[in-house]
Structure formats: structure tokens, C-alpha cells
Amino acid sequence: MKEDIQRVVSQSIENISKTLDIADLAVVVEVGIPKRKDFGDFSVNTAMVIANKIGKKPREVAELIIENLPVEKEQLFKKVEIAGAGFINFHVKEEAIVNKLREIEENGERFGTSDLGKGERVLVEFVSANPTGFLHIGHARNAVVGDAVSRILDASGYDVVKEFYINDSGRQMNLLGESVLIRYKELFEQNQDLPEDGYKGEYVKDIASQIKAEKGDSLLEDSSEQASEYCKEFAEAVLLDEIKKDLADINIFFDEWYSEKENIRGAVGESDGSKLDQIKDLLNSKGVLEQREGALWFKATEFGDAQDWVLIKSDGSPTYFLADIAYHYDKFKRGFKSIINVWGADHHGHVSRLKAALRSLGLDDSRFSVVLIQFVRLMRQGKEVAMSKRAGTYVTMRDVVDEVGSDVTRFFLLMRSSESHLDFDLDLAKKESSENPVYYIQYAHARIRSIFRKAGETGIVESKEHLELLKAPEEIELVKKLLLFPEVVEDSAQARAPHKLAYYLQEVASEFHVYYNKCRVVDDDRQMSGARLYLISCVQTVLSNGLKLLGISAPERM
RNA sequence: GCGCCCGUAGCUCAGCUGGAUAGAGCAACGGACUUCUAAUCCGUAGGCCGGGGGUUCGAAUCCCUCCGGGCGCACCA
């Protein structure tokens, strides 16, 4: 519908530019939706935008535009008028709107998809939690946003790869191995204190018990280095498995599990650090490194960052940052046109230094972007649920999903802009009532299915033969809302903002519920019923396509 | 001190690539079930869009500044 307005206005402007012999009139006609109903269905501010170029007052330009509209306007509009400072308001014929339903039906499951991305390869890296413990609610937000963004990009014609970066080497993993080994030794009465920053969670003891069950006391004979290494790998395997399980429970499946140990630090058998050496040499060849105070620094300040950063510590070991550069260099080398990272907001300081590094390597850092996820506070009875990962006392993502279910978890984490802090109200999430926005949308879908079951009993079938019968204001509003869906998906894709879609679906559900209460679908008038069934079938398509993009189920009944 | 995010109705938040009289949900109050699902709908009430300045035909939206909250600023990851 918007495209129609855009087309006829553009044509009109073309006509004007010919008649008045003004060359440079080309503008992008932006079609808006007025807030007030008496301002019509669509409006355009183009007259105000080009008034200067023509040298007339905006309202006069608006008049010109209206006069020069192509004849097609007869079929489209009831009324076109000038308002305010120079807005042009279009009142569209009901039939023209309602006929657009056919596009929804014809496209079906594909309605809302586009070729915006033109098959461009995109890498979305998200979660990437260290396999040193269970996922918490912050990871869950990251996971759900990353997944929804991926789904939306996929629907928008991008070739998306979802990747989890396994941070499986370095200090944290060693610490985990040591912690498990200490718990293991405890099982044989060899008590020893956990290190200050060791892992204190109960699951560490569980893993130790599993090792005991498998290996008996044989680890006690190994050198502590060997034993710790074994514990580390055992724990990693167990925890990674748990992470995969947790993610699968909320409908998240990755295409790639990219191991730092194997891909960055060097494959098994390869000399450790090879990739790191390569990237270091590459950076060196660009002249952006500097030996200082016994360490090797990347001169990030030369690339706009606030400070320089150490790549090789004075003890000769590489920093995480060096590995990160290598990893992202590798993402570019793998041929991705755009590279999206979903990071916790506490990592925002790393964006500029990584961009600096990419630029220093001659890469186009505008192809790299980061979606920052602000913190989640779990609320219960109006109070924040206290958590301490250090002490091992925290509510895991699994706890939350077990309590409120996957659909609710996903929706709650998606309904807010990811750059806003989020209060996750467990009490509200648990309520199966009107207060809970997830059910509001799902209920609309279930209601539609229910109507179709009813229609099946009476033998009335949907039909597009008499769409002209659909002219109740609630019907027109509903159809107009449905037609916005492709645009909303595109918006969400471009802004990497699934919450826009979540909001939209609430609006669709609302328009539907209003309609339901106002107009009876299955009734004696078979033609009317057929047309209305056709309409709500389109509503169903939009709701189910939209929910799918959010990874939320569309139930048959509730 | 420097950087990023946030500040909109009692609460939680949309709107922010500038448009007309600023929205939703919840909470409050009053109504609608013999009907295709009341997990719904209708109505009432609720606002110096944190403060101040600027940019322009027009600012919640852009710029500056101040205030308040969160998070970063390692030879940790």
C-alpha cells in the first residue's frame, strides 16, 4: 500500500519537473501514517521537502503534486487533501486496502520475507559464554536476541551463520580445571582450599564425582598438571554439553561451534600459538606494534582508540585481545560480508579497540558491528534476586526456563530494546493471565484456530470472492496493520532490533481482539463469513510468521 | 577524569534516520460473558518527554551543557 502512494507521488513529481522544467527534483518520497484518523490513512511530507527547490510555498507545492497525480488515483483514493504546513493526506478506498490481503495469502509462510540482504553472507556470533559454568539470565538475553536477529536477517534475504565462540583456553579454563581437581581430591579426603578466584559452584563437585566414577582414584597418581588438564577437559565437555542443552530448550541451535583452542591457538598437533604468531607478524608488518616495558603493544591510539593495548605480556604469553584479533581476522577471511557480534554491555569498551585493530589490518571495520546487550535484573516480589557467580549462588537460565517456560522467557527478553536495562519480573512471567503479554499474542492465534474449528463444523470455508464486504472500520484497521508486517521485519533486520517485531505483534493481536469483539466471523451470511475467514486467516499468517521469527510457538488452542 | 547506555504516565517500557493534539501494557476506577475461547473488549483517570540553552517552518527525537542512574576504562578473560 505504501509503495502505491510512493509510486503515484513520485510520478506526480516527475510530471511537475517536466512541466516546470526543473531538473533536480528527485526525492525519496517518505510515506507516513498519521496519528489522527481524520488525517487519512497515509500522509506524505514531500511538498515541504521540495518547496525550496521549486520556489513556492509548501501548500502550493502540495496542490501541484495532487494535480499531477496519475489517473491511477481514481482507483486508489477516496480523498486526497492538503493539511497543516503542507502535508498531503491520502484517504484510501477500503476496497483497495482489502484487496491487498491477496498478497498475504499468496505469500503464506513467506509473507514478511524479503531479499533485502541479497544473499549476503553474515556471521552472527553470540552467547560465546566460557564453558566454566551454567548460563545465567544475562547469557539468555544475549542468546535470545542473537537468535532472533539471526532469524530476522535470514528472513530478510541474508545468508546467516550462527556461531558460538568457545573460549576454551586461557586462565579461566585452567582455574576451572584446578577447581575440579581440588573437589576431586576432596572425595579422597585430600582436602585443600579452593583458590581465591576458583569456581565455587556445586556443579564443580558434581563434575568431580563424575570423574571419580569414571576414573576411580587413578588421577591421584598423575602429576597435578596432568590431572588438572584432564579435569579441565572433562569439565569443559560436560559444561558445553549443558550449555547446548539449555540453548536447545529455548529453541536455539548454532551452525558453528568455533573453538578458540583449535582454531586460534592452533590445531591439535600444531605448535601452540601458530595463528597468534601469524596475526602478530601481520600486525608487525603493518608497523602498528611497539615493544615497550618488556611487553608488545598495539598502537591503537593511532587508529582512534583512547589507549594502546598489550598483545604479548612481559612473561611472553599472549593476551585475550590478541586472540580476539586473530579470531575476527579469521571471520573476515572466511568471507563474511558483515560480521555481527552480540556482546554484554560490560564489553562495550572492547568495540573501539577491536575496530582499531581491524582497521590497522586494512579491513573495512564498518562491516563489523556489535549489538550491545544491557543487563538483566531478575525481579521477584518487587525485589532484585541477589546473585553472585563468584560464590556460585545464582539463578541459572535453566532455573528461569523451568519456572516460566521457553516462550515466556524468550518474549520477555525480546520485548525490550537491547540497549535498555531489563527487569525480568518472574512473578509476572509466571502468571497465565492477561497481565502477561506473551499470552496476549498467542491467544489471538489460538482464537483464530478456534474460529476455524467452528467454521469447519458449519461447513463455511474462507473465500476471497467477496472481499468488498470487508468494510467495517475495525476490518480496515486490521488489514492496514497486517500490511505493515514486511516493513517491520525489514526495520528489525536493519536495526538489529527484534523488539520492534515484538511490539508490532502485540499491536496485531490487539487489532484482532478488537475486531473479534466487534464483528462475528462465522455467521449466517455465508459470503461475509467467507470473506472474514479469509481475513483472519491472513491474521494467522502474520502472527505465526512473526512468532516464528522470535522463536516462539503459535498454539492451536490455549 | 575519559568513554558508552539510560532518564517519557504511579510501575515497566515503546516512540529517537526531526513532522500534525506524545503512546502501550500493568496498576486504579466504572462497564460488557445464554454468543466463534472474558488469557478478551469498551470507557474514565493519569505527562513542564530529567533541567537549561541552541539549530529550524517544526524538537521527546539533532547539537551543547548541567543533574541523576547503570556499565566500562589491566601486562584478567
Residues A441-454 have pLDDT tens digits of: 999 999 999 999 99
pLDDT of residue A270: 52
pLDDT of residue A333: 93
Give the angle subtended at the CA of A503 by the CAs of A497 and A504, to the nearest 5°.
Answer: 100
Q: Nearest CA to the C1' of B6 belongs to which residue? A: A420
**Nucleotide of closest approach to A499 (CA, C1'):** B14
Fold of the A434-549 domain: Isoleucyl-tRNA Synthetase; Domain 1 (1.10.730)
Of A310, A291, A300, the closest CA to residue A359 belongs to A300
Give me the residue label for grid cell 509510486. Answer: A7
pLDDT of residue A514: 93
CATH assignment of A2-92? Answer: 3.30.1360.70
* Cβ–Cβ under 8 Å, residues A344 and A142: yes
Residue A85 vs residues A48, A51, A60, A508: alpha-carbon distances, Å: 8, 11, 10, 32
Q: Mapping DSSP to helix (H, G, I), strand (E, B) and coil, where does residue A521 land?
A: coil
Mean of the per-residue pLDDT values of chain A: 90
pTM reported for the whole predicted model: 0.94
Fold of the A126-253+374-430 domain: Rossmann fold (3.40.50)
**Mean pLDDT of successive 10-residue stretches along chain A, which has 558 residues:** 88 85 73 84 87 81 91 91 88 93 96 95 95 91 96 96 91 91 94 87 94 93 91 95 96 95 68 77 94 93 89 91 94 94 90 92 92 88 70 78 92 91 84 77 95 93 92 92 94 94 94 94 92 96 97 94
Q: Where do runs of H (alpha helix) occur along A255-371?
A: 260-263, 274-285, 320-333, 349-360
Distance, Å, A342 CA → B56 C1': 38
* Cβ–Cβ under 8 Å, residues A94 and A470: yes
Strand B nucleotides with an atom less than 7 Å from a protein beta carbon: 2-7, 12-17, 19-27, 35-42, 57, 69-77
Distance, Å, A318 CA → B76 C1': 12
Distance, Å, A422 CA → B12 C1': 9
Residue A25 vs residues A11, A40, A87: alpha-carbon distances, Å: 11, 26, 18
The answer to ipTM > 0.90 is: yes
**Nucleotide of closest approach to A320 (CA, C1'):** B77
* Cβ–Cβ under 8 Å, residues A512 and A478: yes
pLDDT of residue A388: 62
pLDDT of residue A61: 87
**Nucleotide of closest approach to A293 (CA, C1'):** B75
What span, in angstroms and rounded, lies between the C-alpha atoms of A329 and A355? Answer: 11
pLDDT of residue A25: 67
- In chain A, where are the structural domains located? 2-92, 126-253+374-430, 434-549
What span, in angstroms and rounded, lies between the C-alpha atoms of A413 and A5? Answer: 36
Indicate the pairing of strand A87-92 with strand A31-32: unpaired
